[in-house]
Structure 1
């Protein structure tokens, strides 16, 4: 394949920059994909999951964060019973 490209480039020297930029683009795209595959959001080790909340069962009781509010200053829309 490379021999065919070199023979074609010898016959048409104006295509040499095009071959160069195609190879450069393919190399850059492959490096970008390797960089994405090594990112923080990709988990290769499924036994030691980095997101342990995915292993919780439906009956697990979650702890929610409660915001402290002053209930004395809230307006009441309805009558008091």
Structure 2
């Protein structure tokens, strides 16, 4: 198939931006999945630890939230 090897990619230079965009998109998606797996309070990797979610009560764990200051916000989560 044309455009899959470096030799044929040199002949079809219009495909280079396509490969770059797809590569950046794959990298961004991989980074976001890794961040969700490590930073999300809904994910626990160890069953033996009884980790309370109270430490996330006033922390920002969303990826991007420009207008909300979570340190001053009262959480709607119940207190245990």
- Asked whether the 8 Å contact 1:43–1:49 carries over to 2, the reply is no
* Greater relative contact order structure (CA < 8 Å, 6+ sep): 2
Structure ID, larger Rg: 1
TM-score (norm 2): 0.53
Unaligned runs of 5+ in 2: 53-80
SS of alignment partner, residue 25 of structure 2: helix
What value does the CA root-mean-square deviation take over the aligned residues? 1.5
TM-score (norm 1): 0.53
Q: Distance in 1 between matches of 2:14 and 2:50?
A: 53
Unaligned runs of 5+ in 1: 52-81
Structure (1/2) with the larger helix percentage: 1
